[in-house]
Amino acid sequence: MTRDTSEKTTKKIRELPREEYILPGTRSCAACGLMLTYRHALKALAQKKVVVTVPASCMTVLHGVYPITPVKVHCINNPFAATGASSSGIVAGLKATGKQDYTVVAFAGDGGTYDIGIQALSGALERGTDFMYVCYDNEGYMNTGTQRSSASPAGMITTTTPLLTKRQQKKDMIRIVEAHNIPYIATASPAYPLDLYDKFVAARDMNGPRYLEVHAPCPPGWGFPNKDMIKIGKMAVECGVNVLFEIRDGRFRLTSRSLRLAEKGTRKPIKQYVSRQTRFRKMTDQQIQRFQELTDARWEYFLKRHQEHA
Ligand SMILES: Cc1ncc(C[n+]2csc(CCOP(=O)(O)OP(=O)(O)O)c2C)c(N)n1
Ligand code: SF4
C-alpha cells in the first residue's frame, strides 16, 4: 500500500526510530552530508528487509572493507557504471529465489548517476525495475579528490578545473529521470531529516522505480568548516539551489521548508550561500548573477507546477 506523506508526516525528531543501523567507526569524513543522509534513510528502510547496492564512491568507503563493516544492512558493491543493472539483477535474483519481501535500494553519488551510471539507470527505470535509486549529490567525484561531475555547479573549483573553474551549468537530472514516467521522484536534504525520512518511507512502500535525490554537503570538497554542514544544507534550500519536492504519478508538490518559502516568498540571495564555500572563491560577480538568474527561473518553474496541483 502506498503511504501518502501529504497526509501523515513526521513532526518531531524524537518520532524517528531510535535504532541505529550505522555503528560508530565509519570511514567517512567528519560532518559528511552523505553519512547523515544514510543514517536517516536506514531508519526508514531497515524497518523492512533491505539490500543496498553501491558503486565505487564515498559510500563504498563508508561501508568499510570486507569483512568488517559498521553498517547493519546487506550491501553489494558493484562496478562504477553498473548500479542500475546491478539493481535489476538483484531484483530478478530475489524473485527467482522466492525472496520477494526485500526492498532493493541503489545508493550512488552524482558521478555514478549523472555521468557514468546514467545508461544503466535509464535502463532500469525504463524496464520498470521494482527498486529505489538514491543519488546523493555532493556535486563532484569526492572519493577520488573533488573532480568535476556534470552535477558540479558552474563556477566551482575542482581538481580537474583548477584555473578557470567549471564553465558548464549543472545537468538537470530530475527532468531526465522524469522523462521515464516513473511513479515517484523526490528531492531531500540531510538538513531537513524529517522530510527526508518521510520521503524514504513513502518510496519504500511503493512499487516500481522510485528516484530520490539528496543534496549532500561535503565539507572538504565544498570548503566549509565541519560545524557548518547543516547550515550549508539549509542555506541551499533557503536560496532555492536545492528545492524540496516530490512528484507522485506526475503530481508535483513542494514540501517542508521549500513549501513554506513558496508561501512567504522570501528566498535568500545566492551570494550568501556562495560566499561561505571556498569552492566558489573564484566566481566572478557575473557568474554569481547568472547562478542567481538560473536558480530564480528554476524556482519559478517548480512554483508554477506546485500551484497547478494545489
Ligand atoms: C570505471 C571506473 N572509473 C573510475 C573509478 C575510480 N573512482 C572510484 S570512486 C570515483 C568517484 C565517484 O564519484 P561519485 O559517484 O560522485 O561519488 P562520491 O565519490 O562523490 O561519493 C572514481 C572516479 C572506478 N572505480 N571505476
Ligand atoms: S569526501 Fe565528502 S562525501 Fe566523501 S566521505 Fe568525505 S565528506 Fe563525505
Phi first, then psi, for residue 163 (nearest 5°) are -90, -45
Closest CA to 120 of 76, 80, 85: 85
Question: From ligand 2's centre to the CA of 39, what distance in Å?
Answer: 14
8-46: pLDDT as tens digits: 688 899 999 999 999 998 999 999 999 999 999 999 999
Question: From ligand 2's centre to the CA of 141, what distance in Å?
Answer: 10
Find where cell 564553465 sits: 167
What is the pTM (predicted TM-score) of this model?
0.97
88 lines ligand 1 (CB under 6 A): no
Tell which one of 29, 32, 80, 139 to mutate to probe ligand 1, the residue whose CB is within 8 A of the most ligand atoms.
Answer: 80
142 lines ligand 2 (CB under 6 A): yes
Query: For residue 116, what is its C-alpha cell?
Result: 557514468
221 lines ligand 1 (CB under 6 A): no
Whether the predicted pLDDT of 5 surpasses 60: no
Q: What is the DSSP letter of 7?
A: T
| C-alpha span between 242 and 235 (Å, rounded) | 9
50-60: pLDDT as tens digits: 999 999 999 99
Share of the chain above pLDDT 90, in %: 92
**Nearest ligand 2 atom, CA 27:** 5
111 lines ligand 1 (CB under 6 A): yes
Query: For residue 223, what is its C-alpha cell?
Result: 570548503
Find where cell 528531492 sits: 187
